[in-house]
Each structure stands twice: as C-alpha cells, then as structure tokens.
Amino acid sequence: MADTSIPAGYGPDSELDYEGPDPVWLQLTAVMIARIERGDYPVNRPIPSIAGLVQEFGLARGTVRKTTAHLADLGYVRIVNGKGSFVLPRD
C-alpha cells in the first residue's frame, strides 16, 4: 500500500513541487490542512471547489478529488455531494 502520510514542510502558501519526491496530491493535502489550521477556511464553510483548486494549482480533477477525499478521511472536511466540501470542527 502506498504511503499516505502527510509530508512535512508544506505551509498554507507553499508552491507544489511537481518534480519532487512527494506525490502532488499529498503535497496539496498538506497545503490544504495548513490553510484550514490557519483559518483561511472557517469551520462549517466550504473549501474552494474542485474546479477552483484545479485552476489555482494547475492539477487534474482526479488529483484534486483524491486530495479532497483524503481530507475527508483525515476528518478535516465533510463532502456533501452537489454542494462541496465543508470544514469540520477540530478538537
């Protein structure tokens, strides 16, 4: 099974390293977690849409979907079909 641990060293304003050793979707996950923890996306509010993140980072839709699903698996967002992904409260 592939390593899905969040790579260190990525902050909310980090650029993705498309040629680096960490998978891009995990880099994006780290950036999104940092943004959520910084408060860029408030609790119970949506994170940017898949289309918005595709445009911002220049990634494929599937890559962004994988990131969003991983954020949900980690308990950072709740995906609501047809509405978006909403930030969950952190304990």
Q: Residue 12 domain-assigned?
A: no
What pLDDT score was predicted for residue 90? Answer: 85
Segment 22-60, tens digit of pLDDT: 999 999 999 999 999 999 999 999 999 999 999 999 999
> How far apart (Å, rounded) are the C-alpha atoms in residues 21 and 14?
15
Segment 71-87, tens digit of pLDDT: 999 999 999 999 999 99
Please tell me the pTM assigned to this model.
0.93
Q: Residue 63 domain-assigned?
A: yes
> How far apart (Å, rounded) are the C-alpha atoms in residues 30 and 83?
23
Name the H helices within the chain.
24-38, 50-57, 61-73
Whole-Å CA distances, 28 to 34, 70, 88, 91: 10, 10, 18, 23
Domains in the chain, number? 1
CATH number for position 62: 1.10.10.10
- Based on C-alpha coordinates, what's the Rg of the chain? 12
> How far apart (Å, rounded) are the C-alpha atoms in residues 52 and 3?
27
Domain span including residue 60: 24-80
